[in-house]
Structure 1
Amino acid sequence: MAAEVEEAVPAGGAEEVKPYKIHVSSKYLDLTKQKLEVTRLPHEVSEPKSQDWWEPKSRVEPLIDFWLEQYSWRTQEDSLNAELPQFRTEFSIPSSEATVRIHFIHARSSHPNAIPLLLIPPFPFSNLSFGHLIKLFTDPEDAANNQPFHLVIPSLPGLGFSDALPNNTPVISSTAELLNSLMSRLSYPHYVVTNASSGAASPAEIDFRVVNYLATHYMSSCLGAHFISPPLSQPKLQEAPIEWAKWSLASLLHAPILGYRSEDFSALQRNGYVRPSKKAPTPAQFGLNRLGLQEPNTLAYALCDSPTGLLVFVMKSLRLLSPKKKEEFTPTELINFTQLAWLPGPEASMRFWAHCVLHPEPLEKKTPTKPKVGITVFLGDEPSTDANAEAEASTGAEAETDAAALAQDEAKDCYTCPSWANAKYTVLHTHRASGKSGLLAWERPELIVAGIRGVATSLMKSDSRLLQANESTVAPLERVVVHSDTGEEQPPTTPTRPAPTLLAPQSAEERGHPSREISDETAVDSSENVAGKTSSPGPKAPSPARLAPPTDERIHPRRQASDDTAVEQSPNE
């Protein structure tokens, strides 16, 4: 059962929405630099290359150097603050006596026919990685023929700059409740929702589960949903006898009839489908779920302490999601992905993931009418890996033929026939796309837009409620409450630039769950004073016994801090 969520009543009133501007304390940035300087990488034999596992050292080491010597978080921070309209609002969860603040991007379209859209970023990405999608949704080239949207992109609880849910809280139902309440608070009583990546390939199917819960449990407000590669199973006789009969006949004859197409059968065969009499592979056996997070804290301790470890985790996750991505992410983009997890800490997202695996919640709800959805699936008919190897060679990347083949197998798609959804949903729009889902938000974002537009167009033919949001007498941003640095409330206004505030990472009191404070022995002296705190002294010089590794070259340190990159020590030490 979902944890009860109600709107909190902070100083600015029950519907307070605060502008949000990122500014990470310098002590965290200095600590990151210090940890990168003493990174120790595993020893790898150069030849022959392993046929069983990935050997990333040749790519990781240059990225560490780039992070230390060229990358500037302040530059990225300024860019995010200037380009993205960020906000945060608070909700209370009475069952735990805790509050949860949700960070979100809210971009309203200038077109009068725009409708509200809730876009769920792929887990475990932060919403700040999807600013490049805003114009595609809010300002299409031909708004008369291409439906525009008022876009809301939240950061799921525990990711980026959203607070984590309290322990023992059911994560999917509570997240859906928070997001539905968020749309209501923004004066969007009716909206549509879409995934931004494959639901089947998502860790613990989180992307699909959140959108599906909204579509099935909040049908009065969430009027339509767009699923991408949903992990649906074939119809069952006991649950949907008519749809079962259609599927049975079509699959028996292997014929394009009763809503099925020849592409469905070839895609099923290509993606390893077997008949129910045999043991079929499940989505949990593919992609990121192969990493396994049955107990998240063990790995969380390692990743929270090692920016390099988290970087490699990010790189491996991207490889699993799209091993054949033709256009590699730049070093800055890779470090950005890592920083957005490293600075707040990755532990909350890992616990979200593990809780979803260990405590699955029922997603369906019996209602007189079926939820209205659109479905985009991928046929998996991509070219061979030779093209990808040539692309990597052309960019100077080291060829990893065996590892690439392994990654391709790990990223295997789980194909769903769109007509299977008829057993539980009213399907308004379907699209069978070529290739694989991959990193859709970067590789083919137009498919996300096309899918949700197909849903919205069908909905508005018979339901005018989506357009009522534009007739509201109070625009959502007119209720934003701005606070000065002294905490005094200012008159409500429509902000043009969010007021600055220190935002990273939150204290234990702010986040509502235990968080490790940096001790005097490990804190890095910051050039800035954190509000309400006194700057910690510089770290004591570590003794040789603590940092100097054994002489065996297999466990040698990657580098010693140079004069140019070393963290300045206190003159008294």
Structure 2
Amino acid sequence: MASEVGEAVPAGGAEEVKPYKIHVSSKYLDLTKQKLEVTRLPHEHELSEPKSQDWWEPKSRVEPLIDFWLEQYSWRTQEDLLNELPQFRTEFSVPSSEATVRIHFIHARSSHSNAIPLLLIPPFPFSTLSFGHLIKLLTDPEDAAKNQPFHLVMPSLPGLGFSDALPNNTPVISSTAEILNSLMGRLSYPHYVVTNASSGAASPAEIDFHLVNHLVTYYMSSCLGAHLISPPLSQPKLQEAPIEWAKWSIASLLHAPILGYHSEDFSALERSGYVRPSKKSPTPTQFGLNQLGLREPNTLAYALCDSPTGLLVFVMKSLRILSPKRKEKFTPTELINFTELAWLPGPEAAMRFWAHCVRHPEPVEKKTPIKPKVGITVFLGDEPGTDTIAEVERSAEASAGAEVETDTATMTQDEAKDSYTCPSWANAKYNVLYTHRASGKSGLLAWERPELIAAGIREVAASIARSDSRLRPSTTPTVAPLERVVVHSDTADEQTPTAPTRPAPAFLAPPSGEERGHPIREISEETAVGSSENVAGKTPSPGPKAPSPAHLAPPTDERTHPRREASDDTAVEQPANE
């Protein structure tokens, strides 16, 4: 609860917002290479057929990716691209302990005078740096008169990317929500709206949903509205909302599109496995990454912290669960970027965040006479096709045009389904301003259909602004131009002013490992992940400039010591135009 956390306050004063640059120690990159070179993969059945219907067999995809990682991928190229994003970090104290937590975030101010502050919660457990492609969509739309622009703030949640982990035994949802609300105030945004960027029901431990729900419920004086995507809501209950319960009871009994319910709702519920309450029905926690069932994080953390290959397979499996029928496959560079994002700082803090939410849920108990204002986007799950899927990850051979084996293993029933929430169910707890029933499944929404995120939060903001003057654009806060900020280089003694930052519009902008303020374990100088940060008074980020139209540049690497002799059928070639 917010009351348990108290108020997160600036540890170093209200002026301490620091521009942030990524720099990973070369020794740490060398250590990664050494671990890749001694990778031992599990044995798989020699016969390719029949495929298992109980688990996937990823060896034919993992092996080429390891070779690609060793021989062609360049972290330095990706690091330079990421440093074009407007990154900052600032520090908060956690009242429930004596520790301080540094939060890393992207802050892109719109150049449009009618822009509204927006807090975007990145899908857990991704770092905010994976979503650079959303910046232009939200801050600089093609028609700002029709499409509401935003001043965009995208934080890395505590323990992810370059944000410090919360202290042990801290209530993570309420603490994180308090920190994020304080962050918006520190950036001179006393009033703002918030949105998810992925399905709340499919999020691990429903973290994405709970964070946004906590903000819009406990901080109604500052967080004026929220866009909920596939929220894990249940049908209205007689004791809590008798009117909404009666509406649902009548509509469901007649199976009729009345009283706010649509015919699409009933068909979508059937597809998701919903049955009448007299029978046991699937719960949201049975879908998405929740099915991994993480409750004790350290056992798996020790394995993943020591094995970049193990972490790569974990990433591939997660993407497979979230979007099993994805048509536009991630390239080898993008898959490894995802993995580096977790590998360089270490995945253990994110796993502990996840496990804490599973073991210590924080129900929202606050009841107010005014319902929070929200918009809701749900997915009908009505795309045609069977549960048999094509491979999710593009192997390195595929990117070079070689023929590869297609994974036609049958997905399990849980992997193939999405949870469904009737938008009208939300009337029991929220003032619903906007609803949208989108076709298909939520999938990897931020990459596959980011326009749905933008459309939902724009409708919420427009509806609130019509009746609440607090959300209408006001005088632009005073900011220090980034050209005046001096960044201390860790490779030279002189100080050089940074060029103005601009968002990289890459399809995937993955994060890299950086120094953590309070590492879980002692990190030697040989493996430390470093960064450059600086402060020149209070420096909220400027508006983004026109982004480059190119996708992430293909990585280059001069490594000449492959892990093993690559056979002709697993060798990876990187196309010149990837």
Residue 466 of structure 1: CA displacement? 1.3
Aligned counterpart for 1:517 among listed residues 494, 519, 523: 523
What is the alpha-carbon distance in structure 1 between the residues aligned to residue 480 and residue 268 of structure 2? 44
Aligned counterpart for 1:459 among listed residues 455, 464, 484: 464
Residue 475 of structure 1: CA displacement? 3.7
Residue 279 of structure 1: CA displacement? 1.2
Residue 27 of structure 1: CA displacement? 1.2
SS in 2 for 1:290: helix
Residue 494 of structure 1: CA displacement? 10
* Structure 1 position 201 matched with structure 2 position 206: no
1:443 maps to 448
What is the alpha-carbon distance in structure 1 between the residues aligned to residue 58 and residue 75 of structure 2? 24
What is the alpha-carbon distance in structure 2 between the residues aligned to residue 179 and residue 270 of structure 1? 36
2:212 maps to 211
Residue 272 of structure 1: CA displacement? 0.6
Residue 506 of structure 1: CA displacement? 3.1
* Structure 1 position 4 matched with structure 2 position 6: yes
2:549 maps to none
Closer/same/farther in 2, CA of residues 392 and 337 from structure 1, 3 Å limit? closer
Aligned counterpart for 1:68 among listed residues 63, 67, 70: 70
Q: How does 1:316-327 map to 2 (within 5 A)?
A: 316-327=317-328
Greater CA radius of gyration, 1 or 2?
1
Residue 482 of structure 1: CA displacement? 5.4
Closer/same/farther in 2, CA of residues 472 and 266 from structure 1, 3 Å limit? same
* Structure 1 position 159 matched with structure 2 position 160: yes
Deviates more, 1:25-34 or 1:380-389: 380-389
Q: Which amino acid aligns with 2:263?
A: S
Are the equivalent residues in 2 in contact too, given 1:17–1:479 (CA < 8 A)?
A: no
Q: Which amino acid aligns with 1:266?
A: S
Q: How many residues align?
A: 515
- Percent pairwise identity: 77
SS in 2 for 1:23: strand
Q: Which amino acid aligns with 1:16?
A: E
1:230 maps to 231
Q: Deviations over 1:8-36 (max 9, x none)?
A: 242xx323110000001111100000000
SS in 1 for 2:190: coil
What is the alpha-carbon distance in structure 1 between the residues aligned to residue 393 and residue 125 of structure 2? 26
Closer/same/farther in 2, CA of residues 480 and 242 from structure 1, 3 Å limit? farther
Are the equivalent residues in 1 in contact too, given 2:22–2:514 (CA < 8 A)?
A: no
Residue 58 of structure 1: CA displacement? 0.1
What is the alpha-carbon distance in structure 1 between the residues aligned to residue 345 and residue 313 of structure 2? 18
Residue 196 of structure 1: CA displacement? 0.3
Q: Which amino acid aligns with 2:77?
A: T
* Structure 1 position 46 matched with structure 2 position 52: no
2:553 maps to none
2:408 maps to 401
SS in 1 for 2:133: helix
What is the alpha-carbon distance in structure 2 between the residues aligned to residue 464 and residue 411 of structure 1? 44
Question: What's the RMSD between the two structures over aligned residues?
Answer: 2.8
TM-score when normalising by structure 2: 0.84
1:353 maps to 354
Are the equivalent residues in 2 in contact too, given 1:303–1:310 (CA < 8 A)?
A: yes
1:98 maps to 99
2:34 maps to 34
1:56 maps to 58
Segments of 4+ in structure 1 off by > 6 A? 390-395, 476-481, 528-531
1:549 maps to none
Q: How does 1:520-559 map to 2 (within 5 A)?
A: none
SS in 2 for 1:328: coil
Q: Deviations over 1:360-395 (max 9, x none)?
A: 002241112000000000000011048954999998
What is the alpha-carbon distance in structure 1 between the residues aligned to residue 312 and residue 391 of structure 2? 25
Q: Which amino acid aligns with 1:425?
A: Y
TM-score when normalising by structure 1: 0.85
Residue 190 of structure 1: CA displacement? 0.4
Are the equivalent residues in 1 in contact too, given 2:21–2:531 (CA < 8 A)?
A: no
* Structure 1 position 363 matched with structure 2 position 360: no
Q: Deviations over 1:144-166 (max 9, x none)?
A: 01111111110000000000000
Structure 1 unmatched runs, 5+: 487-492, 532-561, 568-573
What is the alpha-carbon distance in structure 1 between the residues aligned to residue 30 and residue 155 of structure 2? 29
What is the alpha-carbon distance in structure 1 between the residues aligned to residue 25 and residue 245 of structure 2? 58
Q: Deviations over 1:449-472 (max 9, x none)?
A: 11101101111110121124x314
Q: Deviations over 1:171-205 (max 9, x none)?
A: 00000000000000000000000000000000000
Aligned counterpart for 2:418 among listed residues 381, 389, 413: 413
What is the alpha-carbon distance in structure 2 between the residues aligned to residue 280 and residue 495 of structure 1? 56
Closer/same/farther in 2, CA of residues 7 and 476 from structure 1, 3 Å limit? farther
Residue 281 of structure 1: CA displacement? 1.2
Structure 2 unmatched runs, 5+: 491-496, 503-511, 533-558, 565-578
Closer/same/farther in 2, CA of residues 504 and 337 from structure 1, 3 Å limit? closer
What is the alpha-carbon distance in structure 2 between the residues aligned to residue 132 and residue 485 of structure 1? 27
SS in 1 for 2:282: coil
Closer/same/farther in 2, CA of residues 484 and 401 from structure 1, 3 Å limit? closer
1:559 maps to none
* Structure 1 position 433 matched with structure 2 position 438: yes
1:547 maps to none
SS in 2 for 1:230: coil
Residue 341 of structure 1: CA displacement? 0.2
Aligned counterpart for 1:506 among listed residues 512, 515, 524: 515
2:276 maps to 275
Closer/same/farther in 2, CA of residues 497 and 113 from structure 1, 3 Å limit? closer
Q: Which amino acid aligns with 2:375?
A: G
SS in 2 for 1:461: helix
Are the equivalent residues in 1 in contact too, given 2:89–2:103 (CA < 8 A)?
A: yes
Are the equivalent residues in 2 in contact too, given 1:16–1:481 (CA < 8 A)?
A: no
Closer/same/farther in 2, CA of residues 221 and 411 from structure 1, 3 Å limit? farther
SS in 2 for 1:471: coil
Q: Which amino acid aligns with 1:401?
A: T
Q: Deviations over 1:466-486 (max 9, x none)?
A: 124x31452487899756459
* Structure 1 position 147 matched with structure 2 position 148: yes
